[in-house]
């Protein structure tokens, strides 16, 4: 079971471009969306919020405390100041402890890969899978046994994952996780395509992030999060 992650936040009344002063004072503005109820505007000290962001990502339930109120939540979106890549805003989504949620869980291959020992090239196509589980059952990562990656053409798919108890994988079972290639063949294709050989291989999926536009407002890159607010000081 994943370890508990907790974060203490404060309610805030400052919104819009006025949150610039909060950032100058070392706080990160955030908002909690709670099952159709009015959003709760909050803020937290930068080191505390950033530490939790690094620990939890978008797949680990967080215990939030705001005054005398407590929430269990997942991080829905984040906003970064684009030039310095400094975390500037967080949107939390409250979840019920007894209701299943969906989340993106990172995939990690076991370290000992026979194909790599044989000087073959293992290309990873998938960095995470979408799962459904109770918040308490969400794993920090899913480890996939790479012992079957031995020779050219061998591959791992989502169907090869040993599913943790209490977890349902939503990602298509036929989706490739990793494939073994002959390095010289990849290099030849790369040369023929002027350095674009990877375009013919399945692309790894990347988690979405929101960045801050020129007008100082957050640009939400995940559907359904258009209400995410964030501003940064223009310099």
- How many helices (H) and strands (E) the chain has is answered by 4, 15
Please provide the average confidence, as pLDDT, over all residues in the chain: 83
Run of H or E including 167: none
Confidence of residue 155 (pLDDT cuts 50, 70, 90): very high
**C-alpha span between 190 and 196 (Å, rounded):** 6
- As given in the structure block, the two tokens for residue 196 are 């674009």
Domains in the chain: boundaries: 6-98+208-219, 102-200
Q: What is the pLDDT of residue 36?
A: 84
Confidence of residue 213 (pLDDT cuts 50, 70, 90): very low
Q: Residues 2-19: pLDDT tens digits?
A: 578 999 999 999 988 889
- CA angle centred on 42, ends 15 and 48, rounded to 5°: 125
DSSP state for residue 26 in the 8-state scheme: T
On whether the CB atoms of residues 60 and 2 are closer than 8 A, the answer is yes
pTM of the predicted protein model: 0.68
**C-alpha span between 115 and 109 (Å, rounded):** 13
- CATH 2.170.120.20 is held by the domain 102-200: yes
CATH second-level architecture of 6-98+208-219? Beta Barrel (2.40)
Selection from 78, 67, 56 nearest residue 5 by Cα: 56
Q: Residues 156-188: pLDDT tens digits?
A: 999 999 999 999 999 999 999 999 999 988 787
């Amino acid at each position: 079971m994943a370890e508990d992650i907790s974060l203490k936040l404060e309610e805030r009344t400052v919104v819009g471009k006025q949150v610039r002063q909060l950032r100058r004072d070392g706080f990160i503005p955030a908002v909690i969306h709670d099952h159709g109820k009015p959003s709760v505007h909050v803020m937290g000290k930068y080191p505390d919020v950033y530490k939790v962001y690094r620990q939890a990502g978008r797949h680990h339930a967080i215990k939030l405390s705001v005054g005398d109120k407590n929430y269990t939540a997942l991080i829905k979106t984040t906003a970064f100041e684009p030039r310095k890549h400094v975390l500037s805003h967080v949107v939390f989504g409250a979840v019920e402890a007894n209701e299943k949620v969906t989340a993106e869980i990172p995939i990690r291959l076991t370290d000992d890969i026979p194909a790599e020992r044989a000087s073959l090239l293992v290309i990873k196509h998938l960095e995470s899978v979408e799962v459904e589980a109770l918040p308490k059952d969400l794993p920090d990562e899913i480890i996939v046994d790479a012992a079957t990656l031995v020779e050219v053409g061998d591959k791992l798919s989502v169907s090869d994952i040993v599913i943790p108890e209490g977890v349902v994988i939503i990602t298509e079972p036929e989706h490739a996780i990793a494939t073994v290639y002959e390095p010289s063949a990849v290099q030849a294709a790369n040369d023929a395509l002027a350095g674009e050989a990877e375009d013919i291989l399945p692309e790894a999926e990347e988690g979405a992030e929101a960045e801050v536009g020129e007008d100082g407002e957050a640009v939400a890159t995940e559907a359904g999060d258009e209400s995410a607010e964030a501003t940064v000081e223009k310099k």
